[in-house]
Each structure stands twice: as structure tokens, then as C-alpha cells.
Structure 1
């Protein structure tokens, strides 16, 4: 039995985060529970993981909960948004981007967890955001039926595109040469160089999760439980896989081997609680898909992510450090919107503006958190051992 360096994390309506490690036994795979956390007080809507194992989760309780997966440590929470969190995305391990139903999205410093900038412009909830691989551009879609392009360097809106209906998702390709906009069951893929649609199609049912496999193939799923593979260069469907569930809520993709760009692991999470792992191999125009393993989490899943996690390291000390950052008010931020270039410093790594004074936030950094028992709704406790925060199950 060998544990892989891949961890799958799902969120659910029951306010829980559930972690699973991939275990390989010969040619067989298993999803082994690794932790359960109940820090949220509302439905979890989105999860993001950085390339160094930092995890952020957000939901209807309007908070962002922070963890380090490799160390099994809860870092604390970020309180700034005044609406449900809708989307989270890391840029490498230096910055975190968050979007909310309060009509804003924010950039956070991963080093200090301070809010560096709050972007305003949407007249209603921000449904989704996607960061260009360069870290210099952000696309957002909102309930106000607009697609907005933001220059992260200047901290201002660069373009506003009116669309016929509110989009659910926007997604950059891995190289940043294309981006896709998803409206319920319709997908439009744009070429960045010409800003024109190069591929467009309509799915039979609502799309709940969408991502790029590579620069030419996208993967999506939703109501009906079918995962579709679509080649945007040929504008045609090249494969579909029935996952035998009612509704897919999340899809996440990882390269099977870092040196190979045609072999992937694809993970799906469904509303009926099933997590499934598939191998995907691209061979010319053919896509070979094989189910490797599945697990019933017994919860109503809402979102998922999967990532390669660095080897676990034990943080030094067990002291709980509390740090409160109280800085610029909302009114002061409004006054600064037109004079950012005079008061901000540019963070070259992300291409973001780092305000000398930032948004009011409360940051609590916690190390070596003890295990916390988490109960399944209407069932027996998962673990009876008393403690705090994260439950870790090591084998």
C-alpha cells in the first residue's frame, strides 16, 4: 500500500470540509479519509488549493477558512466580505483571490493574509473569477450581465462587456491564449488575440463545473451526471462518460505524471455524495477514460478540488498567535478608487497593487491544532476523541 501525494477535498451543504488521500495498492486505487473539519457555519461553496498546500474555503457564512494540508494545520479565518463567497483562486502561493455576492472581489497576501485590494464595479453578485496565468489580468462575470476584464497592476477595470444573460463561469486556458464563458448550458470560447468566439456549443443540461484539460480540450459536467470532453480547436465533442450520478457538482484535474502532458487524473464530486477518480489518456483524437475508484462520502457535496500536496512538515511550536489588522475603512477605500496609482505599491510577482493601508480584517494564526470531533448530520460522531479544529486520520 502506497500513499500518493494527491489529496482530494470536498465541501458540502452540511458545513463540512472532507479530505481524502489517494492510496494505491498494486494497480488498484482507494480514496482514504484523511481529515474532517467543521469551521464553517454555512454551506461551503468553493475551495482552492495553492501549489504549496495552502487551502482556502468559502461559503454562505461570508468567511474564508484557511488551512495547510501538508501540516494538517488550521491557520485561521478571513472576515471581510459582506456576502456569500462564490469563488476562490490562488496565484502560485503568493496571493489569494476571492469573489463574493457583495459585488466585489479581493486580493489577499498569502504571507500576511492582509487584504491588499478590493475591486468594485459589478452591480450585483460576482458569480465567478478567473486569473490569467501571468497574474496580471482577472476576468469576472456577475449577475449584472457583464463580463469584466481587470488590470491587476493598475487595480482598475480595463474592459466591460455586456452579455445577453448572466454567466455562471469564466475560465482561462492553461496558457492564457483562450478563455471560456459558461451560461447555464451554453459555452462560448474566445481567442484572446482576436477577442472573437472560436468555439461555441450548447449542452443538453445545466453545467455545474467547467475546466480546461489542456489548451485544446475542455471538460465539463452538471445535471444528468455525464462528463463531456470537447475539443475547442475542432469545435466538437470527442468523448462523454456517464458517471452514474444525478448531478455533478465539481470536477478537478491533475496530471498523472508531471513529465507527461497527455495523461491525467480526473476527479468528480456529485450531489448524492459520490467522489470518483478516473484516468484520462489523450491519444490523438481519442480520449480513453477509465474509472479507478469511487467513494461515498454520505454528504450532499457542493464543490471539490484536488491537488498534489508537499510532504508533511511539523510546524515548530504550539503557540497560538492572534493578530488583528485594522486598517482602511470602506469609505476611505471608495475615496481612493481614483487615486490608486499615487498611494499603492506594485507587487511584481502577482502584478497586483499592495495598498499601504488595507481593508479591515481579523486574522487569527493557529499552529498545531488538536483534533476536533465532527458529527455527521443525524448519525453517530465520526470520532469521539475530544479536541479542537481538525480531525486527522493517519494510517
Structure 2
């Protein structure tokens, strides 16, 4: 048994709105309450289909919009048709969705990845396809076009099985058929046009019942052994085709009945004036439960499964937790680059450990704003400037270390003093935030020249005191050719031999 708490009534309107209603109990009985409203289509909505958590809406804007009813979110859009999408239908296991359009094509799209797997571009020889319906087994499908032909499609092989010409039977009305339905057990199907209803048998492949009514048939729905028929004058008829045929009429609406949807003993009807009613079927009679006017012209309707709000809240909370974790990670990465400036004009390149301790203690700390990020970036840029300036000054100190002359203790003191003075001058220059790069570089160059002019002469004087002839000294080792050395050695040997003799 289907309860009112488990279903949701979804309607499409001529004004391009998609509306969802739920039935809630009250002191006076039942009430229809609007759960959601969305305006995604750019033209009127022509058909709706629902299976499991999928919901699809087809419109005159050549597009099909897809929704996830579990999360209540729009998940995609299909635009493989080039004209108005007249009818859509899900397979029973919700593996595919079939669509047909005025452009004369039928398409099969896989649910989930929404990939177009089959596209019959000339399904009805170039004529528009008015309606399509799928067998409860998911292996067959019926389609009717403006060419007046009823075509059966083998969905397993992906091709047409056979075609039936309806023009000899129905005449010009065969080109305007918009109602085709399979029975729940899959043994019968029907078509309706104008004021006529024809019931076919799958086993005999022939007509088993025909019925004519006083008013035009606008919508039809199977319910066990009954056929629920909506008429142009606002009447809802319960029709039993078994012999003798029986019918029960109920004046449900003041205007044309536009759509009928049923689930077990719950039946929903809607009219073109915007009136929506929910009924309970008991012993061939309809008992009204709730009514509401949506304020728009209804074009189609479907009953969808209503998911519990707790699951939705759990999923939202999980998403929020993931978002908070992500923001904490981002904060951690940003704060690693933060450098503190001390009041004593000293720069420390240490990471802010205290801030991270506070984050661990207070997980509900405020998120970093854009102003904080700008301050962090400016601080990091100042530190980069300082590192570049120190790199420029370091070669001056290295030159003094590379000097080959002998230096005394006074020269070492000069080195240390010069190095400290340069570092202090750099820190003083960089602590001023308003100073530009060019001004800092020019001041450093001037200080360099002054220090070189003052200190380098002292170094030279110490070198002159220790080795006064260092500048005039030349290399004492002169290399002689090898032949001269050999000749001298041979002469000495000859002299020695002569002396011995």
C-alpha cells in the first residue's frame, strides 16, 4: 500500500515552471503543500518522467533537464534533439531514458553518465514522433508519429520490430495520437484519439476491445482491471472493458482534465486551469482527499518517490564537514607563510606556532578573510625584498675573505664591524614599509661606496706594514729549458770523471 507520506506530486506548466507538492495531514484532513518550484526551461514543459531518484522534464525549448530527487538538485541537461521534445520515458530498471521529438528522431540515453547510446534520426520517415512508452519488461517500446504508423521497437537489438498503419482504421485522427499506454502486466496496450479508445492484445497482435465516448479523451491510465480516463469536459471515468463493460463517471474538474497519475489506491488528477486534486480509489469510486490550485496552466504530471529529509540533512552535513576541513587545510597552508615584524625593528622568519595551537584548541575559529590574505602576501613580499638585499651585500664580505695577504687582528675586527653595519643598515632600510625597491637599492649602493672608501685603505696599510715589498715582489722561480739543464749536468759529470782519472 502506498501512503501519502511516501509520494510527491510533480507537475509541469505551460508557464515553464516545475512544481512539487506533498500531502500532509492536518486537523481538517489532508493538505497539499508546495515543496519546491524551479524555472529551468525556456519554453513550456511537455512531459515528465520519474524512476527511482531520477526526474526528467522535457520542453518545447528542445532540451531535457535532469534532476536528482534525493539531493533535490539539477544534475544535467540533454540537448540531442533539434525540435520540441514531445515525450520521455524511463526503463523499469532506470538504466536508460527514451526520448522522442518533433524532429522525427528517437534517442536512448544511459542514465548515470547520460551518454547517448542510440539515436534513430528517421524513426518515422521524417515525420514527428508524438509519443513513446516502454514495456514493463524493458525489452519493447511503442511509438506513434504524425505519419499515422504505430511502430514497435526491440530495445534489446536496438532496431524496429514491426509497424502498423493506423490510417485505414482511424483515418485522419491517426496522425494526432498522443496517448499510448502499456498495461501493468504487459499483456495489453492501448491507444486513444479523439473520442475513441482501442485496446490491443500482445498475444493475438489484434484488437480485443473498442470504445467510443461522448467527449474527447485527453489522458488515460491503467489501474489493475480498470482504465481511468480523463475527458475534455472535466470528467474522470473509471472504465472496465470486461463483458459487459462497466463505467463510473465522476465530475472532477471544471475544465479539461490534462493529466492523471496513480500509485496503488492513490490517484492524482490535474486540469488545464491549474487545479490539482488527490483521490483515494475504493470499490470503483473516488473519494477526494485534498485539493489545491497552483495558479498556472498544467501540461503534465507524474508521481515521484519522496525521500526522507533526514538523509538529505545527513548528506548536507557531510558536505559541510568536508568544506570545513578543506578550509582548515587552506588556512594551514596560508599561515605557514606568515612572518612577524617585531617592534624592535627585527625580523623573525619563524612560523606562527601560537596561531596553530589556537586553531587546534578552537576548531570553530573564524575563517581567513580576503583582507587577512592581502596582509599575509604583503608581509611575504617584504621578507623576499630583504632576502634579495642581503644577497646583494654578501659579495662585499666575501671579497675580504678572499684576500691573500696576511691580516692582523685589527683587520678581522674591521671585517666584523663592517658586516654588522651592513646588516643593520639593511634591516633599517627594509623596516620602512613605504620605501620602494629603487630607493633601497640606491641607498645600499651609496653606503657600499662609502664603506669601501673608508675601510679598504686601512686594509692596504696593514698589508704594507707586514710586507712592504709585496706590490713590487715578483716570482723567483724561472723555468729553464730541459736541454740546457741536461747539458750542464753532462758537463759536470765529465769534469768529475776527468778529476778522478
User: When the two structures are superposed, what TM-score results if normalisation uses the length of structure 1?
Assistant: 0.74
CA RMSD, 1 decimal: 1.8
Structure 1 residue 241: deviation in Å? Answer: 1.0
Structure 1 residue 237: deviation in Å? Answer: 3.5
Q: Which residue is equivalent to 2:220?
A: 210
Q: Which residue is equivalent to 1:354?
A: none
Q: Which residue is equivalent to 1:137?
A: 140
4+ residue segments displaced more than 3 Å: 312-319
Structure 1 residue 185: deviation in Å? Answer: 1.8
Q: Which residue is equivalent to 2:308?
A: 311
Partner deviation per Cα, 1:323-343 (whole Å, 9 max, x = no partner): xxxxxxxxxxxxxxxxxxxxx
Once residues 75 and 199 of structure 1 are traced to their aligned partners in structure 2, the CA distance between those partners, rounded to angstroms, is 43
2:229 alignment partner, SS class: strand
Q: Which residue is equivalent to 1:35?
A: 36
2:290 maps to 1:293: yes
CA contact (8 A) 1:47 1:303 kept: yes
CA contact (8 A) 1:4 1:24 kept: no
Kindly tell me: are residues 178 and 27 of structure 1, through their superposed partners in 2, closer, same or farther at Cα, counting changes over 3 Å?
Answer: farther
Task: Flag the structure with higher helix content.
Answer: 2
Q: Which residue is equivalent to 2:407?
A: none
Q: Which runs of 5+ in 1 are unaligned?
A: 256-263, 320-395
Q: How does 1:232-243 map to 2 (within 5 A)?
A: 232-234=241-243, 236-243=245-252
CA contact (8 A) 2:253 2:271 kept: no
Q: Which residue is equivalent to 2:371?
A: none
Q: How does 1:263-342 map to 2 (within 5 A)?
A: 264-282=265-283, 287-312=284-309, 313-314=311-312, 315=315, 317=319
2:80 maps to 1:76: no
2:190 alignment partner, SS class: strand
CA contact (8 A) 1:199 1:235 kept: no
Tell me whether 7-16 or 119-128 shows the greater mean CA deviation.
Answer: 119-128
Once residues 26 and 70 of structure 1 are traced to their aligned partners in structure 2, the CA distance between those partners, rounded to angstroms, is 29
Q: Which residue is equivalent to 1:154?
A: 157
User: When the two structures are superposed, what TM-score results if normalisation uses the length of structure 2?
Assistant: 0.58
With a CA cutoff of 8 Å and minimum separation of 6, indicate the structure with the bigger relative contact order: 1
Once residues 317 and 237 of structure 1 are traced to their aligned partners in structure 2, the CA distance between those partners, rounded to angstroms, is 56
Partner deviation per Cα, 1:165-217 (whole Å, 9 max, x = no partner): 22222111001000001112211001110012111111222222111112x21
Kindly tell me: are residues 4 and 159 of structure 1, through their superposed partners in 2, closer, same or farther at Cα, counting changes over 3 Å?
Answer: same
Q: Which residue is equivalent to 1:5?
A: 6
Kindly tell me: are residues 27 and 236 of structure 1, through their superposed partners in 2, closer, same or farther at Cα, counting changes over 3 Å?
Answer: farther
Once residues 290 and 4 of structure 2 are traced to their aligned partners in structure 1, the CA distance between those partners, rounded to angstroms, is 14
Once residues 3 and 229 of structure 1 are traced to their aligned partners in structure 2, the CA distance between those partners, rounded to angstroms, is 22
- Larger Rg over CA atoms: 2
2:185 maps to 1:193: no
Structure 1 residue 105: deviation in Å? Answer: 1.5
Q: Which residue is equivalent to 2:258?
A: 249
Partner deviation per Cα, 1:323-372 (whole Å, 9 max, x = no partner): xxxxxxxxxxxxxxxxxxxxxxxxxxxxxxxxxxxxxxxxxxxxxxxxxx
Task: Flag the structure with higher strand content.
Answer: 1
Q: Which runs of 5+ in 2 are unaligned?
A: 168-173, 323-501
Structure 1 residue 270: deviation in Å? Answer: 0.6
CA contact (8 A) 1:22 1:29 kept: yes
Tell me whether 3-12 or 24-33 shows the greater mean CA deviation.
Answer: 24-33
Q: Which residue is equivalent to 2:463?
A: none
Q: How does 1:40-51 map to 2 (within 5 A)?
A: 40-50=41-51
CA contact (8 A) 1:254 1:307 kept: no
Q: Which residue is equivalent to 1:171?
A: 181
Structure 1 residue 26: deviation in Å? Answer: 5.9
